[in-house]
Amino acid sequence: MVKSSLARPLLPLANLLSQKDILSVSLKPKWKLHHLRQLNDYARQSLADGYYDASGESSKIYKLHNLNGRNVLVGVGDSGIDWKSTYFYDPDHSVKRAESGSSDHRKISLYVPLFGKDETSTDGHGTHVCGTIAGKAYDSSNSSDALYNGIAEEAKLLFVDLEDSDEDLYLPKDLYNRYYMKTLYRNKARINSNSWGSEEDYEYDSFCSQTDKFVWDYNDMLILFAAGNEGEEGLGSVTSPALSKNVITVGATHSERNHDGKNYITYFSSRGNPNKRTIKPDIVAPGDQFSAKSLSRWDCGLNCDNHGGVVKMQGTSMATPAVAGIVALITQYLKEKSYHNQELDVRASLIKAMVVHSGQPTTGYCNIIMRCFPHNKNHFYYEGHGRVQLDRVLHYDGESDFELFLYYGQINEKKESFTLEFTITNISLEIQ
């Protein structure tokens, strides 16, 4: 890496650029987590069917079909996880590290400290994110804790700690091999949720290209990124690596607690760039919600085992794991032959298409003082394809008011095409 400063001549960089063997040069970004401040009970219900029941009653699609993420592993890269929280606690199995612990832990299949930090985090961000995806209260009879279980409460987590020993967020330059391949893919994770991004890199860079290439090479792994919290900067405020084409980039709506929340984009949710010819974010979900809280010894003394407590946070960091939980449920649906009794190969492109098609239009966007406005012609760069609603894409015979056709193929040539023919016998069906 060549380091330079505007206060000094850029000769090293100029010399580097003049070399014929150099294909491209990009700036090294400074990374940050995409949450705003501390503030999924709402998200779990809203993402199912668009409604919220304050009593905590599970949505119909969850109850009738036992959708809970069982046998699905979700990889998460974040600031650390407090596994003594009741949402991850397991008194019978220690958390598995590289050379110790048990993969039978009820929630965490593996903990990987990528940069040497090896301790329970009290930062709270990673704990909140993981709770949203797959947290499940240890004592299921405690309804007050169980109310805040994650979207896919029976899924398990592969956690990658991205903090270094100074508790700074750090990413390897070689995302393809060190993060995606060696840490996640080889350890069986096929869903990867990331609530972090560059502080100010609004361009498609080497981290985006590495991400896109990995999904192309290993198309059974789906990657999600938070769009970012720079919405007040206007259009073009989505940062790397969320600009990757083959990932699901997630923006944020308000929750039902604020105005007609689920139908309004938050002021902070980063907007896409009309000049990029890609729609980003791809989808939106509630970005302010309650989930697992991280505690330190200052909070609970020497024994924090099985501690309860939730905390409210907001940001696209919170919307992204909510959608990752939905992806886990879709994966379960496909693997358990819920689609016409067929077990389908779970491909990133197929699941992304299903998530996109679950999108329902939003009404508008709000500013920081909660003045809300209807969408204009640029609505795609605020909402993507709309807010996720699971019951609009998972078909069940005798229940759904639509039919579902799933097909995936591969186009290898620039001018290659394929045709899929089918007959519609009921002209009253809506076609999407």
Instruction: Name the residues annotated as catalytic.
Output: 78, 125, 317
Smallest CA-to-CA distance from 313 within 113, 121, 71, 33 is with 33
H/E segment holding residue 197: strand 196-198
Which amino acid, one-letter code, is at 82?
D
Under DSSP, the state recorded for 144 is: H
Angle formed by the axes of helices 316-335 and 125-134, to 10°? 30
Chain centroid to CA 177: 20
How far is CA 81 from each of CA 117, 192, 248, 417, rounded to the nearest angstrom? 12, 16, 23, 46
Under DSSP, the state recorded for 206 is: H
Neighbour count for residue 249 (Cβ, 10 Å): 30
Cα–Cα dist 125/229, whole Å = 15
Cα–Cα dist 36/10, whole Å = 36
Asked whether the beta carbons of 158 and 110 are under 8 A apart, the reply is: yes
Structure tokens at 90: 């397991």
Residue 91, Ramachandran bin (φ over 0: left; ψ between -120 and 50: alpha; else beta): alpha
Structure tokens at 52: 């919220």
Smallest CA-to-CA distance from 135 within 159, 101, 99 is with 159
Helices (H) and strands (E) in the chain, counts: 10, 15
Cα–Cα dist 221/209, whole Å = 16
Structure tokens at 296: 């330190």
The strand order across the sheet containing 37-38 reads 37-38, 310-314, 288-292
Smallest CA-to-CA distance from 134 within 111, 116, 160, 108 is with 108
Strand locations in 91-133 (E): 108-113
Structure tokens at 329: 């449920």
How far is CA 206 from each of CA 136, 172, 274, 372, 382, rounded to the nearest angstrom? 37, 12, 21, 37, 25
Main-chain dihedrals φ then ψ at residue 223, nearest 5 degrees? -115, 135
